[in-house]
Amino acid sequence: MGKEVYFDNHATTPVDPRVVEAMLPYFTEKFGNAASKSHRFGWEAERAVETARRQVAALIGAEAREIVFTSGATESNNLALKGVAERYAGQGDHLITALTEHKAVLDPCRALERRGYRVTYLPVDREGLLDPDDVRKAITPRTILISVMYANNEIGVVQPIAEIGRIAREHGVLFHTDATQAVGKIPVDVNRDAVDLLSLSAHKMYGPKGVGALYVRHRDRQVELAAQMDGGGHERGVRSGTLNVPGIVGLGEACAICQQEMPQEAERLRRLRDRLKTLLESGLEEVYVNGSMERRLPNNLNMSFLYVEADALLVALKDIALSTGSACTSAIPEPSHVLRALHLPEGRAQSAVRFGLGRFNTEEEVDYVAARVIEAVTKLRELSPLYELARGGSPNASGPS
Ligand SMILES: *Cc1c(COP(=O)(O)O)cnc(C)c1O
């Protein structure tokens, strides 16, 4: 008992020891500023940054010069949305996104609305998927940007990105995708998917926190951005600030490892995820998967345990790191905006738990977690009068009436 298990890999991932190893010299002997042009220390740092730029680009089918380093996906999303909105304000004032986006897209959209832009928030179906036709219909002559996430951070569903990309291109509208949960987990290619801007983050793919990148199309179409951070003119003037060299080296190494190991790792995680699902479904009744099972990240499972409050379940499983959807900011537990957008049947959203598997999880852990979840759900249901009623029995009469 008391064994700790980490199944919250959509929130963040541990740094791969190989990534740590690659980063270490850049804190000590190779500490130079990549912008120093007149000595070995600067050149060494710049060389490392350019290697990382190629590693990031290679993972998503981009060119090195199309990669802008940032502090993470939140900054990348802000730079993409606000940067495009400001730069192309002369051509339009309308953006299209989805209701199930991460807060790091929704909040910049709200900020743009306060500045006078208009934003269409498209609904999703019960599986969590966007209909590309809805995107097409939402486009107006004033539309300058479509932003749709690649894979959802709560329910793991993978949106029809290539189809949306094609529609955006047909209409001459720029297309951004928050691919933070997809890059390194499933094949992402900015050319196949007709993506113009793409956000990614190191700490969701076994790299360090506080570093990420924005892909900005340059190869066949010069996408321009209004800088959101002014200063020394780093990153071709788009993102000023001394580069986080150790972090960038870590991001590059994390990308190279993902590229190398993705096919085997995705398969292994899919097998573990499916095993977890099968164990839970055979050990419990009234459990339901939220979001499409067909179009889904291999490492994600989001499951509702009817008649059980997800928060109570997480308390009962304190030594297992799980999540009830996205971190709630208010004191009142409320179903996340993603689960609400699915219009799930009664009781489903409140009982939903997210399982996020990762590189360092084992089959033994899957079996352990499944057993603990089954045990805890069974116990909590025994205490639930609703469950008794639903089963046709009388409410538990052992408590005070
Ligand atoms: C984690 C996450 C973010 C935020 O990334 P940071 O690098 O932590 O800023 C944005 N979008 C999605 C989909 C995420 O999962």
What three-state secondary structure class fits 392? Answer: coil
282-292 per-position pLDDT tens digit: 999 999 999 99
Instruction: Give the Å distances, CA to CA, from 390 to 346, 375, 394.
Output: 13, 20, 9
- Rounded distance from Cα 204 to ligand 1 centre (Å): 8
Residue with tokens 């029809």: 160
Report which ligand 1 atom has the smallest distance to the Cα of 153.
Answer: 15
- Rounded distance from Cα 154 to ligand 1 centre (Å): 11
Q: How far apart are CA 338 and CA 325, in angstroms?
A: 8
105-161 per-position pLDDT tens digit: 999 999 999 999 999 999 999 999 999 999 999 999 999 999 999 999 999 999 999
Please say if the pLDDT value at position 335 is more than 80: yes
Active-site choice (109, 255, 258, 328): 328
201 C-beta closer than 6 A to ligand 1:
yes
Please state which architecture CATH assigns to domain 5-11+261-391. Alpha-Beta Complex (3.90)
Q: How confident is the model at residue 397 (pLDDT cuts 50, 70, 90)?
A: very low
Phi, psi angles (nearest 5°) of residue 95: -125, 150
Question: End-to-end CA distance of the chain, in Å?
Answer: 35
Of 228, 227, 164, which Cα lies nearest the Cα of 196?
A: 164
Given this chain, do its domains 5-11+261-391 and 17-257 carry the same CATH topology?
no
The mean predicted confidence, pLDDT, of the chain is 95
What are the residue ranges spanned by the domains of the chain?
A: 5-11+261-391, 17-257
Phi, psi angles (nearest 5°) of residue 134: -65, -35
176 C-beta closer than 6 A to ligand 1:
no
**pLDDT (0 to 100) of residue 23:** 98
Cα angle 186, 192, 198 (rounded to 5 degrees) comes to: 65
Residue with tokens 């164990």: 279
**pLDDT (0 to 100) of residue 326:** 45
297 C-beta closer than 6 A to ligand 1:
no
72 C-beta closer than 6 A to ligand 1:
yes
154 C-beta closer than 6 A to ligand 1:
no
| Contact yes or no for 62/183 (Cβ under 8 A) | no
197-255 per-position pLDDT tens digit: 999 999 999 999 999 999 999 999 999 999 999 999 999 999 999 999 999 999 999 99
For ligand 1, mutation pick of 102, 186, 214, 354 (most atoms within 8 Å of CB):
102
Of 256, 237, 253, 255, which Cα lies nearest the Cα of 245?
A: 253
Closest residue CA from atom 14 of ligand 1: 180
Closest residue CA from atom 3 of ligand 1: 73
Phi, psi angles (nearest 5°) of residue 145: -150, 140
Q: How far apart are CA 307 and CA 396, in angstroms?
A: 14
CATH class of 17-257: alpha beta
The encoded tokens of residue 267 equal: 């398969």
- Rounded distance from Cα 45 to ligand 1 centre (Å): 27
Q: How far apart are CA 297 and CA 153, in angstroms?
A: 10
Known catalytic residue: 328? yes
